[in-house]
Amino acid sequence: MGAILEVLGRPDFAELLRTHVLLSAAALLIGIVIALPVALAIRNTPLGAALAVNVGNIGRAVPSLAILALCQPFLGFGFDTALVALTALAIPPILINASTGLREVSRDVIDAARGMGLSGSQILTHIQLPIAAPVIFAGIRTSAVQVVASATLATFIGGGGLGDLIVEGTQRNDTAILLAGSLSVAVLAIITEVGFGTLEWAMTPKGLKLAQKRTR
């Protein structure tokens, strides 16, 4: 146990952790910046939405290692390549959820709002987005956890991150290093899951929370 703490105290551990978090955060942010506008743009076209969901579902089936590995022959080793691959992995859950969430806002609610004289964009900002927010956020949360987990694999294409520690521990048959790496990644993933879960709960408009409580 003490040996594990020793590894965590190593100067390069902080660097690896920093790279891991940076990779994940950047991939998630860029993924959101790409996926959300797309979902917004197609929210009123059933064909576009269906396409988005299908592409998203296929995207979710792609193994993380495959995407990371595929980028390597084209983009080389390093942080940037890993970022591109992780961004590609981040997009599908957000795209699916945002697209579905926006489209599933009940027609009645939208009609009522239109009846009250709200314009299209007002409906979007005041009605659709708030109602879809929890679903969209669930997608972001799924994406975040997946990105943090996949960032571990960045080590295989020279992207750095905590995966380096796991590989080092495996190569050197050093349980302390191995566990230090594995446990810190696990903890990071759990923190991400719980953290975003809390944010998701905070994002749910009060009315929806009450409604959800009633149906439980």
Partner 1 sequence: MKNRTKLIRAVPALLAALALLTLTACGNVGSSGGSGPSAEDGGPAITVGSKNFTEQYVLGELYAQALEARGFNVEKKLDLGSEQIADKALQNGQIDLYPEYTGTSLVDVLGYEGEYPSTPEATYQKAKELYAKREPADTMLTPAQFNNTYGVFVRKDVAEKYDLKTLADLAEVSPKLAFVIFSEFKNREDSYPNMQKNYPAFDFGDIVIVNSIGGPIYQGVLQGEGDAGVGFTTDGQLASDKLVVMEDPKNIWPFYYPAPVVRSDVLKKNPKMKGILNEVSASLNAETMRELNAQVAIEQEDPEDVAAEYLQKKGIVE
Partner 2 sequence: MVDPGAFGLAFLQDLSSIEEPKLIEWDWISENFWEDIVPAIQGHIFLSLVSLAIALAISLPTGVLVSRYRKAYPPVTFVTGLLYSIPSLALFGILISIPGITIGPAPVIIALVAYSLLILIRNTVAGLDAVPAETIDAARGMGLTNRQILFKVELPLALPVIVAGIRIATVTIIGIATIGAYIAAGGLGKMIFDGINRSFPTMIITGAVLATALAIFADLSLLALERRLRPWARRRRTA
Residue 198 binds which of partner 1, partner 2, none (CB < 5-8 A, kind-dependent):
none
Number of residues that bind partner 1 (CB under 8 A): 17
Q: Are 60 and 96 in contact (CB under 8 A)?
A: yes
Dihedral (Cα; 29, 35, 36, 42), 10-degree rounding: 170
Q: Are 168 and 20 in contact (CB under 8 A)?
A: no
Q: How far is the CB of 6 from partner 1 (least distance, A)?
A: 13
Dihedral (Cα; 171, 174, 179, 185), 10-degree rounding: -30
Nearer to partner 2, 127 or 134 (CB): 134
Residue 121 binds which of partner 2, partner 1, none (CB < 5-8 A, kind-dependent):
none
Among the candidate windows 39-47, 112-120, 176-184, 204-212, which touches partner 2 by CB under 8 A?
A: 176-184
Rule CB under 8 A: say whether 153 interacts with partner 2.
yes
Which token pair is 145?
């956890």
Half-sphere exposure of 70 (CA within 13 A, CB side): 11
Q: Are 157 and 81 in contact (CB under 8 A)?
A: yes
Which token pair is 115?
């009846």
The footprint of partner 2 on residues 87-146 (CB under 8 A) is 92-93, 96-97, 100-101, 135, 138-139, 142, 145
d(CA 99, CA 208): 19
The footprint of partner 1 on residues 143-202 (CB under 8 A) is 155-158, 160, 164, 167-168, 170-174
Binding residues (CB under 8 A) for partner 2: these are: 53, 56-58, 60-67, 69-70, 72-74, 92-93, 96-97, 100-101, 135, 138-139, 142, 145, 148-150, 152-153, 155-157, 163, 166, 169-170, 175, 178-179, 181-183, 185-186, 189-190, 193
